[in-house]
Structure 1
Amino acid sequence: MITTIALDLDNTLLNSAKEISAANQRVLTRLHQEGKRIVLCTGRPLPAIEHLLEQLGLTGPNDYSITFNGGLVQNNQTGEILAQTTLDKAAVELLTRDAAVRHYPLDVLGPDRVYSLTEFGQSKYEKFMNGKLKFAHINFADLPENEAFGKVVSAAPAEVVAQTRAGIPAEISEHFNVVPSRRELLEFLPEGVNKAVGLSKLLTHFGESMENLMTFGDEENDLEMIMQAQVGVAMDNAIPLIKDAADVITLDNDSDGVAVYLQKYFQL
């Protein structure tokens, strides 16, 4: 039985205006009220999605989110951490060496702010976040020594992101899960971290398994959760890799694809 519905945000749950449509909100709210676990799965930290959690009413004692693309499983109400995998400054330094040679921007996500590393050029990440996170513009040398970092991102034009990923040296690929979350954003996650890993930890906490899970996604960073869920749903606007991996394809994110499939599956 499906007990948990996990949703990517951009271009999946959210429409092109970065909003949850009235139809998606109505269906998800009803399912949550009927006892289904609704879990937002995103690369963003919890403070950046609080407005979405409140909109959907996902603020109870048993409501959780998967953030940092699976690196952090956190209670929506209390902020309590159920599971976490992080990077240290030494790991970030591996990326700075390559970025210095191949010239791509880096932003490091810490516990309460994003550190935009100024020596690697202007990043688009602050614009992407649209005021949802606090940013500090610093040199790598000033990055705190004792903080745990959720991930590192490179936000740049699509062609720069593609070139960056294509040329990743083995030293980095051995220590990071390097995956795009959109054409203009490359994510450097701790080794072994993905959304399915976070969801598995959450389901285990509730005494359940991936057999109880339905997932929705559109991009490569959704691949593992689409493949491993009992029901993996790709949006019609998803990349071919996700469509091929999915059990079913629903309408696109501007056509209430999430709500349409949930209504059909649960016979609402």
Structure 2
Amino acid sequence: MDIKAIAIDLDGTLLNSKKEITERTKEILKKVHKKGIKIIISTGRPYVSIKNLLNELEIKDMVIIYNGAKIIDLKNNEVIYEIPLEEKYVKYLIEISRKENIHLNLYQNEEWYVENLNNEETKKYKFLTNLIPIEKDFNTFEDYRMTKALYVGDNLKLKKIEEILKKEIGSEVYLTFSQEFLLEILNKKVNKGSALLYVLEQYNISSEQCIAFGDAENDIEMLTSIKYGVAMKNALKKVKESVKYQTLSNDENGVVEFINTHVNLE
């Protein structure tokens, strides 16, 4: 494989079940970087929740965050691309969260907003990301354009919410599950695939010179936008069915094992 870029999802892909990066993974990714291959982290998370991780990996390339709604160039921490969710949809999502009694996270200017600091959903997401939530009455925003909106809850309840949203605004926004308890809503122009193609264009790298790794529904566009889409062993069935390649699970160093087998690092 003539590879010049590797795009990697975090949760369920690069990170193991303990949300850690193994020493072997660090070692191989540093070899990849020294070889001159771009490492493009692509995640649904906000930038603030992955800064320490990026420093740990010594990555200085572009990073895709919020499932492709924002791209940051790590060389100067400059936002080079952002497509927010429009005001009318954010207000509708707030209305649904109250009507259906479902927890809603809103993200704006790298801040995470909730209406209840003490419920289980806020605590669970805080534990998952190490982010600090800001309590705010969602009726009091001056600007309702959000980088991302996220419902947190039981999967069955989220499936019900997904059906409501598909019926009412499904053709006008991008809906995706990043984990079974996280339903994300973004601008309809946003997904990891279109964001990755934008990054590759900035680097003058062809989609045929890129490998991408993922495990969840929100990774499918990314995996199918380039030549070498790779599903983790622990990936959802629909993710595995969308690609030609598979690797070991995130608890078996699947990303680095595939890289070692298919990319010349000598």
Task: With the length of structure 2 as denominator, give the TM-score of the two structures.
Answer: 0.92
Deviation at 1:25, TM superposition (A): 1.1
Correspondence for 2:27: 26
Which residues of structure 2 form unaligned runs of 5+?
A: none
Match of 1:99 in 2: 97
Q: Map 1:13-162 to 2 at 5 A.
A: 13-59=14-60, 63-118=61-116, 122=119, 124-130=121-127, 132-143=130-141, 145-146=142-143, 148-162=145-159
Does the 8 Å CA contact 1:152/1:187 hold for their aligned counterparts?
A: yes
Distance 1:182 1:253, change over 3 A: same
Aligned runs of 1:239-254 on 2, under 5 Å? 239-254=236-251
- The equivalent of 1:5 in structure 2 is 6
State the distance in 2 between where 1:51 and 1:218 align: 22
2:162 to 161, 165, 173: 165
RMSD over aligned CA atoms reads 1.9
CA distance in 2, matches of 1:265, 1:125: 41
Q: How many residues align structurally?
A: 263
Q: Post-superposition shift, 1:3?
A: 0.9
| Whole-angstrom CA distance in 1 between matches of 2:206 and 2:81 | 16
Residues 24 and 125 of structure 1, relative CA distance in 2, 3 Å threshold: farther
Is contact 1:71-1:84 (8 Å) kept? yes
Amino acid at match of 2:236: I
1:157 Cα deviation from its structure 2 partner: 2.0
> How has the CA–CA distance of structure 1 residues 77 and 123 changed in structure 2, closer, same or farther, with 3 Å as cutoff?
farther
Q: Provide Cα deviations, 1:24-51, integer angstroms capped at 9, x if missing partner.
A: 1111110111100001101111111011
Equivalent position SS for 2:40: strand
1:211 aligns with 2:192: no
CA contact (8 A) 2:69 2:186 kept: yes
Secondary structure of the residue that 1:20 maps to in structure 2?
A: coil
The alignment partner of 2:251 has SS state of coil
Deviates more, 1:33-42 or 1:83-92: 83-92
Q: 1:187 aligns with which of 176, 184, 193?
A: 184
Report which stretch shifted further, 10-19 or 129-138.
Answer: 129-138
Q: What is the distance in 2 between the residues matched to 1:118 and 1:128?
A: 12
Determine helix, strand or coil for the equivalent of 1:124.
Answer: helix
For 1:118 and 1:219, the matched residues in 2 are separated by: 28
Q: Identify unmatched segments of 5+ residues in structure 1.
A: none
Is the CA contact (8 Å cut-off) linking 1:95 and 1:172 kept in structure 2?
A: no
Find the aligned partners of 1:22 and 1:141 in 2 and give their Cα distance: 46
TM-score (norm 1): 0.92
Q: CA deviation at 1:171?
A: 3.0
